[in-house]
Structure 1
C-alpha cells in the first residue's frame, strides 16, 4: 500500500480579508462619495426647521418622504453616522497598516537598502548592457538620475559591481499620514456633534423622543 499525502494551501483568513476590505481604496472612495452627496443635501436643504415649514414647502406627500429619509436633520441620521463611522474605520485601518512601514522606510539608511539590493527579486527592473567602462557608465547613470530630481549615491558591492541608489520624495509619505489623520479627526468631530449619547439613551429606552406634529395644509 502506498500512502498519499495531501497539502492544503491555506487562503487568506477572514480577519485579513476584512482588514483588506476596510483598508481598500475603493471602499474609502465610495464612502467619501456618499458623504459628499449627503453633505450637499444637508447644505441645500435648510436643516432643523419647524416641520410646518417643510410641510408648506413640499406638500404632504414629499414632506413624509423627506421626513422618513431624515433629510430635515441629515447630519444626525443613523445612515449618515454609519457612513462617517465606516469612513473612520476604513481610514484608521489604512493608517495603522501602512504607517509603520512608511516610517521604517523613511528612517532606513541608504546603505541598508543598498546591501539588500537584489535585482532578481525586484518586480520592476531594467537591464542595460553597455560597452562603456565602469566609471563612464556610472557617471552617465548618475547624471540621468540627477536630471530627474534624484540624489544618487554610489555603493560598492564588493564583487566588481556598483549599486547606484537614487531616492526621491522620502518624506512625502508624511503628507499621506497627516491627511489620513486629519480625516479621522474631522469624522470623529462629526460623530461627537451628532448627539450619539442621546441616541444610545433612546435605544435603551431611558429617553423618549418628543413627537413633532405638523399643521395640515389648508385647502
Structure 2
C-alpha cells in the first residue's frame, strides 16, 4: 500500500523553482480569486506590491505581525519559527539595532510566502494543489526570473550586482545558489561569471573611480565660489 504523503511534506519549499512559480501565478489563479470573493484573508496583487514598495529594506517580526493582523490573520511567532525550520519561509537575512535591542530582518517577500502557505493549508484541498502543479509543471521560467525571485534585498539583478561589486553584498550569489541548486553545473558557471565581473571591476573601473575621487580631493573652491549660481554647471 502506497504511503500517503502529508500536506506539510508536499508543500513546495522556499527558494525552489516550483515555489517561485506558484508565487508568481498565485494571485491570478481562479481558485485564489474565488477565495478573495468569499472573504478569505488573502492578499491582492496590489497589496503585495505595496508591501514590497513600503518595506524595501526588509521586514522585522513586528512588521510582519502588524501586516498580518491588519489582514485578520492570527499568526503566532512560534508558528513563524516553525515555518522557518521547515524551510517554508526564509531565515533572517540580516539584523538591525533598535531602541529595544537587536532584531532580525526578513526578506520583503516573506508576506507573499506566508500568504501562499495560508492559501495552501486553509483555502484549497490537496486535489486542487495537484491540479495546479499539473498545470504549471511544463511552464518554463527563465534563470533570471528565478534568481530575482530569490533576491532578499533587491528585486532587480542589476541593483543587486552593483551592491555586490561595490559593497561585497552576497545577496546575488546566494540567490544564484538557491535558484540553480538543482543544476550544479550552471550554478557554478554563473557564480564564476559573477566573480569575474567583480574582478574586472576591481582591476579597471574601481581604479578609474579612485583616480576620479583622488583628483576631486585635490581641487578646491573658495567658500564664496559655492553659490547657487554655480550649481547649474554652465558658463555665462
For the superposition of Structure 1 and Structure 2, which TM-score range results when normalised by the shorter chain?
under 0.3
Q: TM-score, structure 2 length as denominator?
A: 0.24
TM-score by length of 1: 0.26
Q: Which has the larger radius of gyration?
A: 1
